[in-house]
Amino acid sequence: MSATSKKDTILRERSFYGALRVREFTNWLKEPYRTLYNGKIEHGAQYVNPPSSLLPTTYYGPDSGVGLALAHCCPNARRVGAIGLGVGTLAAYGKTSDYFRFYEINPQVIAIAKSSFSYLRDSPARIDVVLGDARISLQNEEPQQFDVLAVDAFSGDAIPVHLLTREGFALYLRHLKPDGVLAVHTSNSYLNLPPVVQLLASEAGCYAQMITNDDNHRKPD
């Protein structure tokens, strides 16, 4: 680790799931922001101070697939599920009448999202975080009737393959409303995942649309 990255690091932890690190930077306007890394992979970022801290950033911006789904899925109270917590960025979309349910396998990620970032506590939505393997958790639950279910567990260098199978997709659809949206984040440095998702969607009789967008509110490192 370089001297610069050591200076920027405000938290470092390691577990069975890998090395986690929170770094704090400032942008060109001297606004501080924090980023969570698992190894070298970024898993979310947030400005430290409001009102910027209330904005969804990186690949969860308003023109992302999940951002568009949340903007257009339903006019009233929304039920939103998310596999993979990160720093809790999706909670920035929560409104008072909404319910957000996050599934996260790593307890250290949950602790960091609550202590080093503020998306979860700042959101006006009702929020639950379920600890454990998301597929097992979903298998043991009654249908959640999600309007949107976001699956964001594939950006690292070791993807949980059991979440990207026919059985996994069937499980996700069981927890969606009939007109619900399944949003799968497929960005990965090593694997070409969009064709896999397209095939799984076709086999399940679902329409799939790939949406690409630039990082939102990106902050220079």
* Longest pairwise C-alpha distance within the chain: 52
Start-end of H helices in 3-106: 3-8, 65-72
170-220 residue pLDDT tens: 999 999 999 999 998 877 666 677 778 788 888 888 888 888 876 655 444
Measured at the CA of 188, the angle between CA 57 and CA 63, to 5 degrees, comes to 35
* 184 falls within a domain: yes
Q: Exposed/middle/buried for 142, CB within 10 Å: 0-12, 13-18, 19+?
A: exposed
Contact 28, 220 (CB under 8 A): yes
Domain extent, residue 127, equals: 59-203
Tally of helices (H runs) and strands (E runs) in the chain: 7, 9
CATH code for the domain of 146: 3.40.50.150
* 2 falls within a domain: no
- Residue 162 has what pLDDT? 78
Measured at the CA of 162, the angle between CA 186 and CA 117, to 5 degrees, comes to 55
Lowest average pLDDT, out of 116-120, 135-139, 156-160, goes to 156-160
- Residue 142 has what pLDDT? 97
* 68 falls within a domain: yes
* 21 falls within a domain: no
* 82 falls within a domain: yes
- Residue 221 has what pLDDT? 40
3-state secondary structure of 146: strand
* 35 falls within a domain: no
* 108 falls within a domain: yes
Q: Which two tokens stand for residue 83?
A: 């596999």
The average pLDDT across 133-159 equals: 86
Lowest average pLDDT, out of 98-102, 127-131, 209-213, goes to 209-213
28-72 residue pLDDT tens: 889 999 999 988 888 899 999 999 999 999 888 888 889 999 988
Name the pTM for this structure.
0.89
The more confidently predicted of residues 18 and 146 is: 146
Number of domains making up the chain: 1
Torsion angles phi and psi, residue 34, rounded to 5? -120, 150
* 171 falls within a domain: yes
Q: Are strands 176-184 and 146-151 parallel, antiparallel or unpaired?
A: parallel
- Residue 4 has what pLDDT? 47
Start-end of H helices in 85-212: 107-115, 119-122, 134-139, 166-174, 194-203
- Residue 153 has what pLDDT? 66
Mean pLDDT of the chain: 87
Strands (E), 40-135: 41-47, 79-83, 99-104, 126-131
